[in-house]
Amino acid sequence: MPEDEYMMIANVAVHPQFRGNGLGRGLMEFAEAEAKRKGYSELRLATHLLLTENLSLYSHLGWSETGRDESRIYMTKVIR
């Protein structure tokens, strides 16, 4: 979702039957490539605190935590 200064990722989901096959990574890489193609230099997202596997994946892909509230972790990634 394009914003003025960054691109926001709203939802990423992989059916449980297909987890572990690199689809989530592929979706995130696609989002990053699209944001870069459109001239953005930053991506942002929010994930639920209980979805620890998402946090691990995003951290591994170079995302940084920027804040938390009672249910969400906010993250950003600078696109190079």
Q: By percentage, how much of the chain surpasses pLDDT 70?
A: 100
Domain ranges of the chain: 7-78
Cα-Cα-Cα-Cα dihedral of 13, 63, 23, 4, to 10°?
60
Is the pTM value of this prediction over 0.85? yes
Res. 13: pLDDT tops 90: no
Q: What is the mean pLDDT of residues 27-43?
A: 95
What mean pLDDT, rounded, does the chain reach?
93
| Integer Cα distance of 49 and 69 in angstroms | 9
Res. 73: pLDDT tops 90: yes
Res. 79: pLDDT tops 90: yes
CATH architecture of structural domain 7-78: 3-Layer(aba) Sandwich (3.40)
| Integer Cα distance of 20 and 59 in angstroms | 16
Alpha helices, H only, the chain: 23-37, 52-60
